[in-house]
Structure 1
């Protein structure tokens, strides 16, 4: 993401947060206690975070 800030620590921190979010979403999806609607919502959020991470990596 080409904002006003130069790439550096902020870029690395953002990438780490996105990866950690994906990990948490994956762990939540793997749990057997989710309702089907929650699992679908988590899948959509995970897809969105994955897309953002992919675009973020591509912009660097």
Structure 2
């Protein structure tokens, strides 16, 4: 399992969500990250999800 980081910001730059989760690969992590955003109602906020090498796998601005 690999550890991914999911972060959400509001327009002022305040951090609304900052958490890590594990997934088998980047594709699974995209699905998990998007589901988490949908759960919290943060899909339209600025967000990013990065893999352990710090590569962006999910991003919205």
Structure with the largest fraction of helix: 1
Q: TM-score per shorter chain, which class?
A: 0.3 to 0.5
- TM-score of the superposition, structure 2-length normalised? 0.34
Structure showing greater relative contact order (alpha-carbon pairs closer than 8 Å, 6 or more residues apart): 1
Structure with the largest fraction of strand: 2
- Structure number with greater Rg is 1
- TM-score of the superposition, structure 1-length normalised? 0.34
